[in-house]
Structure 1
Amino acid sequence: MRFVIIICLFFQVLTTSAFGQAYQYHTVAAGETVYSISNKYDISQETLLKLNPEAKEGLQVNAKLVIPMSSEQSESSVKKVVSFNSHKVQKKETLYSLSKQYGVSVDDIKKYNKQLYSKELQNGEIIQIPVFVIDESAPDKVIIAEKKERPAPGKVIIEERNPEVFNSKPSSQIGKTREHIIIPKETKYGIARKYGMTVKELEALNPRVGVLQPGIMLKVGTNVLDQPVIITDDAFEFYEVQPQETLYSLTRRFQVAEDSLVALNPALKDGLKWGMILKVPTKDSKGNKLEEVEDLAENPIATSELSKMDLSKNLKNFETKNLVLMLPYNLSKINKDSISNAKELIQKDRVLRISLDFYSGALMAIERAKELGISTNLRVYDTQNNSGKVSQTIAANDFRNVDAVIGPLLQATSEEAASSLMNLKVPVISPMTNRELKALPNLYQSRPSDDMLREGMIAYLQSNSQGKNVIIIADAASSAIKSKLVSALPLARIVNPQANNITESTIASVLDKSRENWVILESESIGLLGSATSALNRMARNNRITLFTTYKNSTFESDAVVNEHLGELRFHFPSEYKEFDESVTDSFIEAYETKYGYIPNKYTVRGYDLTLDVLLRLAAMGTIEESVKANIITEYVENKFLYKPKTNGGFYNDAIYIMQLNKDLTLSVAK
């Protein structure tokens, strides 16, 4: 049943692929109910309660409810054109850069310059840039902003209008509060900074507010900074001051002079305080992206923690993302009018099952991104697992404005897609294959190869085996990896098994009862793995033994290897993903199970993690390539991503997990 639902969703997405949404708010009047309000705006009661969970406890007169607007409402009743700016296109200017310069969307520019739907900007061309104002005849609208004058390039200046609120007298006491209506692109950092609060204080005043949605009203302090709100862009971002940080360490971190930092943040004249929200630069005077420098002497935080980034808290680019999903569905074989035909094909075709699982996760990621304010135009293509079909699809469709392609699924089709899109510089993210891909400048391998997993485990052993008695058990077929292990761990003891079997007496000769014994087992032989794990399990009763391998091949899953033995030996192995802990609450897992009635498998979770990562990288960094330059690690439900450039072209994901099987047969990430 789950796959039939997903197939229906797939056919729907072929006809509707935009995931944008605007909102307005409604003031509850006496006698109104959830039913009457949902009827008034032609939405379901479920949608109304989802956007306004507090309404489940009853409606209060004068309460504000967030209401989704239809596309006609959001386009026509919120803003209108009052004039145009004529702009002569200069070299290297793009629609995106012009949209940022004038504070309008790319779609707005195209709408009033129809030729741009079919051709690119031409140097010297004169185009018309619309100037919008809020339609005063449309009350209670979300976007509470009006145009004062065209902002300087790279900055969007918003002035909030709410006469009732601005009559409040400023106060430095958080005990006194006022209301703030969230406008598009605002973040908790920006709102906290405007009212001289910390993010924790803002969250404490609004415990029910999780993801910020335009139109929602927040409680804030009354101490308003005497300057306009500046929505962050490529040149600036917000930063929350951490404990033990100093003004000097911040100037080092963001490579900015102290007087410049104070000029950006006048509140620093009264001293630096923990929890302050600062506006900091992301580029130098020449427009080059700054590399962060950590002063570890003053802020001794582990570098592994510093390198991880929650991109959802650093979103800057809220332009609609154009995403393409290319997967091998072979839908031509499915009779759309026959459920039994669809079920039969799904049961027989493993690649189709994986594709549908991945697709369902990707849809959930797009919905999650929408909650964060990121709209997505999704186009889905069936590659039929055929390279010729991939090139044909790309040739027949316009990919010029595509921000990223996720897929195709396998090696040959991924390479064909990247090759066909190389001239357009469209990034192609290969989602599944762990084989070494061709060196193409726009091809991103999101799944680490087997060699990367081995190298990751070797690095882990090198870093953590000091003081341990390291033993290497490897058969003749594993001589290559044995040589690497010996080179990396020169003090290790070597055991060469005979005839794919090993005895307790052979292992006992190299064990050390006075310290921990780390045994590295390398083989694909069922006989050797079975005999070795059984012998080690018995010997672990009187010795401290931990078992490792540099690659968990399918033989470890055979009946000859007892899982309980591996658990007793705290079996360690490298993996590109971690299994989510079902005992820990996760919003994605819960939402998926509610929607489909199943716990998602690893392909579904990968579809969610990878798609969300791509959308957040685009929203936080502008492009996938810029996110790679930032050298950040991102982590989601089961997967993490750290893209690095290959020496001969393209990128690979260098982020892996070292997993540990516990005695109760649960998995955890090794420390």
Structure 2
Amino acid sequence: MNKISVYVLAFCLSLGCTSVYSQNNNRRITTSNEQNSDVFYHTIERGQTVYAIATMYGVSVDDIYRMNPGSKEGIKAGAILKIPQKDAATVPAESLAGDYTYHTIQPKETLYSLSLKYTIPAESIIQANPGLSTSTFTIGKTIRIPATRIETLPTTEKKSVTKEIEYTIQKKETMYRICRKFNISSNELIKHNPALRNGVKAGMTIKIPVQAEETVVEVKKMPGEREVNALLSAPKDIKKVDRIKIALLLPFMTNEPVPSATTSRFVEYYEGLLLAVDSMRNMGCNIELSVYDTGNGVQKINEILKEDALQEANLIIGAVQNEQITPVANFAQKRNIKYVIPFTSKNDDVLSNASVFQINTPHSYLYSKAAQAGCDLFSDYNIILLDIKDKENKTDFIKAFKSEMKTRQMEYKELPFRPETFQTDIEQLLSTTKRNVIVPTSGSLDALNKFKSPLRMLAETKPEYGITLFGYPEWQTYTRECLEDFYALNTYIYSNFYADNLASNVQDFYTLYKTWYSKNLINTFPKYGILGFDTGMYFLGAIRKYGSNFENNLDKINYPSVQTGFNFHRVNNWGGFINTNLFIVHYKNDYTVTRTELK
């Protein structure tokens, strides 16, 4: 098959209980009488898009636009959307959304009341919503109600019962003969027939107790309200794993004569993961790693998923193309295996699959959090958006940033970039009573080169302006050309990955990698070798400490990352987890760099 011996590949690569009511705030969604069985209500969370919301409920974007006309112009966190219940007859069997009714939790509703309302066991509701707890069973939250209903027919059971039969005593019969005939003691016989105390007489009719099997009809008793509602706060045991089994699925393209640059990055990711495995083994962790070459398309994936190592895995990492990711995600969900998607941020499986952990943050969540961070950092600044028409314009981020400023009633200015008059134009907008921050609308190096020199000159000749620059993740790849400018302009960037080359843990990793593989990391961002190491250390450490169901203790996992931080957030009560970690990197005037992690 395609399974690659870990050691062979490593060698080759080295060469080249109380009633819990829904509580939240006084926000009113709709009353039970108002609620239409054909619709339910979704409260928009930060970072969500209409497309993502439609996908998680198995409806179309047009369905949402039709029921919420204003949503076509944009949606806002905290607003409420009306969502149509999907028609089960039109949902494909392989659909991620499945056959569910969606319910928006109303005031005073409990798990018990919903169990009665939908005639379904409370355990089935919890099973369909793995993220459901006292903290998520709140007014306005949506949950899935599975199609299976409580069986209304009574149950039947065969039981042994005692019955009495009548018997007429024959001539010459004695007490002894009757007892022997019916296998009963004389005391038991007299107990049922007190008249026998006066003697046995022919012609008497007596009662004989006999054992018989009888089908008993029994109606199963429903658990009580207190018992049902307590399920939301029931402690969840840690499922310890003695030997952690990992399956790594990457397109190594072993059939290609010369590996491409992309393939080399995946090899580097594997090498970084091997370093994490070795580190965890040195801590006493028992690990079995199986590695597979997925190639392109789904043919190899389908074969790999038949392997015993996949069936028995605690953790699956990898697959790159969406057509490969979906079958792996479905496989993991059916077997309750944790599945880590390390690279793409554009996969939808996480929206309806509780087994999925998506490391690369979807842009909508990233921009929303970065906009919040920018407003927190520069709430007292004079904010100037520098509009540079460029092929790499950050339209969605700027939109999110403007929306956040508007929500907070923060003022900002906009300046179209004109190279011949830029210095004069910008100076007219600068404040002398506040610090000033410049936010360009493009993240490209070409855009940065257009304004950084005149802006730096202004910052150095007129320090009273207190000029600061706020920019983008890709700026960390420009340090060879722009590092001095970043320092001079007191630059901040946001990013979901960052490795400070001067930090001791980064230096230690570079040394370890070169010792193992006799080469340096590929000079790209993010560095896949460190990504593989961080991923392995985080998830192996999580399983080692909190078992195969470590998702119940995510808030307790604090891994000091080398490059990629982890802060997983469940997308809804039934879906998987996306990584919402964000770094704010600050290039200071004193030529130092700090990395602040925002949870």
TM, length-normalised to structure 2: 0.54
Using the TM superposition, give the Cα deviation of residue 623 of structure 1 relative to its aligned residue in structure 2, in angstroms.
2.1
What residue is the counterpart of 1:363 in the other structure? 274
- 1:367 is matched by which residue type in structure 2? D
CA contact (8 A) 2:387 2:417 kept: no
Using the TM superposition, give the Cα deviation of residue 552 of structure 1 relative to its aligned residue in structure 2, in angstroms.
3.5
SS at structure 1 position matched to 2:337: coil
Q: Deviations over 1:83-120 (max 9, x none)?
A: xxxxxxxxxxxxxxxxxxxxxxxxxxxxxxxxxxxxxx
Q: Deviations over 1:226-254 (max 9, x none)?
A: xxxxxxxxxxxxxxxxxxxxxxxxxxxxx
In 2, the alpha carbon distance for the partners of 1:6 and 1:582 equals 32
CA contact (8 A) 1:518 1:547 kept: yes
In 2, the alpha carbon distance for the partners of 1:517 and 1:412 equals 47
What residue is the counterpart of 2:543 in the other structure? 618
Residue in structure 1 matching 2:248, options 325, 332, 336: 325
Residue in structure 2 matching 1:596, options 490, 498, 517: 517
In 2, the alpha carbon distance for the partners of 1:573 and 1:470 equals 15
Residue in structure 1 matching 2:235, options 267, 273, 288: 288
CA separation of 1:454/1:475 partners in 2, compared to 1, >3 Å: closer, same or farther?
same
CA contact (8 A) 1:324 1:379 kept: yes
Residue in structure 1 matching 2:404, options 470, 474, 488: 488
- 1:658 is matched by which residue type in structure 2? I
**Aligned residue runs from structure 1 range 256-275, under 5 A:** none
What residue is the counterpart of 2:135 in the other structure? none
In 2, the alpha carbon distance for the partners of 1:469 and 1:633 equals 36
Matched, 1:448 2:395: no
- 2:299 is matched by which residue type in structure 1? G
Matched, 1:567 2:487: yes
Higher relative contact order (CA 8 A, sep 6+): 2
In 2, the alpha carbon distance for the partners of 1:507 and 1:286 equals 57
Using the TM superposition, give the Cα deviation of residue 8 of structure 1 relative to its aligned residue in structure 2, in angstroms.
4.5
SS at structure 1 position matched to 2:384: strand
What residue is the counterpart of 2:53 in the other structure? none
Using the TM superposition, give the Cα deviation of residue 504 of structure 1 relative to its aligned residue in structure 2, in angstroms.
0.9
Q: Deviations over 1:551-570 (max 9, x none)?
A: 344798499x7443233112
CA separation of 1:660/1:621 partners in 2, compared to 1, >3 Å: closer, same or farther?
same
Q: Which runs of 5+ in 1 are unaligned?
A: 14-282, 291-314, 335-344
Residue in structure 1 matching 2:370, options 457, 462, 470: 457
Q: Deviations over 1:472-526 (max 9, x none)?
A: 2234655543332223224332223156876011111111123311221112566
What residue is the counterpart of 1:658 in the other structure? 584
CA separation of 1:589/1:558 partners in 2, compared to 1, >3 Å: closer, same or farther?
closer
CA separation of 1:631/1:369 partners in 2, compared to 1, >3 Å: closer, same or farther?
closer
Using the TM superposition, give the Cα deviation of residue 327 of structure 1 relative to its aligned residue in structure 2, in angstroms.
0.8
In 2, the alpha carbon distance for the partners of 1:667 and 1:390 equals 43
In 1, the alpha carbon distance for the partners of 2:477 and 2:416 equals 18
SS at structure 2 position matched to 1:354: helix
Amino-acid identity (%): 19
Q: Deviations over 1:223-281 (max 9, x none)?
A: xxxxxxxxxxxxxxxxxxxxxxxxxxxxxxxxxxxxxxxxxxxxxxxxxxxxxxxxxxx
CA contact (8 A) 1:640 1:655 kept: yes
Using the TM superposition, give the Cα deviation of residue 402 of structure 1 relative to its aligned residue in structure 2, in angstroms.
0.9
CA separation of 1:326/1:479 partners in 2, compared to 1, >3 Å: closer, same or farther?
closer
SS at structure 2 position matched to 1:657: strand
CA separation of 1:462/1:327 partners in 2, compared to 1, >3 Å: closer, same or farther?
same
- 1:545 is matched by which residue type in structure 2? I
**Aligned residue runs from structure 1 range 306-345, under 5 A:** 317=240, 319-333=242-256, 345=258
- 2:381 is matched by which residue type in structure 1? K
In 2, the alpha carbon distance for the partners of 1:378 and 1:482 equals 43
- 1:570 is matched by which residue type in structure 2? N
SS at structure 2 position matched to 1:635: coil
What residue is the counterpart of 1:518 in the other structure? 437
What residue is the counterpart of 1:467 in the other structure? 380
What residue is the counterpart of 2:565 in the other structure? 640
In 1, the alpha carbon distance for the partners of 2:359 and 2:417 equals 39
CA contact (8 A) 1:628 1:643 kept: no
CA separation of 1:614/1:599 partners in 2, compared to 1, >3 Å: closer, same or farther?
same
CA separation of 1:588/1:624 partners in 2, compared to 1, >3 Å: closer, same or farther?
farther
In 1, the alpha carbon distance for the partners of 2:457 and 2:371 equals 26
**Aligned residue runs from structure 1 range 22-171, under 5 A:** none
SS at structure 2 position matched to 1:385: coil
Comparing 583-592 and 350-359, the one that deviates more:
583-592
Using the TM superposition, give the Cα deviation of residue 328 of structure 1 relative to its aligned residue in structure 2, in angstroms.
0.7
Residue in structure 2 matching 1:536, options 455, 468, 478: 455
Using the TM superposition, give the Cα deviation of residue 320 of structure 1 relative to its aligned residue in structure 2, in angstroms.
0.8
In 1, the alpha carbon distance for the partners of 2:313 and 2:325 equals 16
In 2, the alpha carbon distance for the partners of 1:608 and 1:621 equals 20
RMSD: 3.5
Matched, 1:427 2:356: no
CA contact (8 A) 2:542 2:557 kept: no
In 2, the alpha carbon distance for the partners of 1:651 and 1:478 equals 25
What residue is the counterpart of 1:99 in the other structure? none
What residue is the counterpart of 1:160 in the other structure? none
- 1:616 is matched by which residue type in structure 2? G
**Aligned residue runs from structure 1 range 213-292, under 5 A:** 288-289=235-236
Aligned length: 360
Matched, 1:373 2:284: yes
Matched, 1:388 2:388: no
Using the TM superposition, give the Cα deviation of residue 418 of structure 1 relative to its aligned residue in structure 2, in angstroms.
0.9
SS at structure 2 position matched to 1:421: helix
TM, length-normalised to structure 1: 0.48
CA separation of 1:425/1:613 partners in 2, compared to 1, >3 Å: closer, same or farther?
same
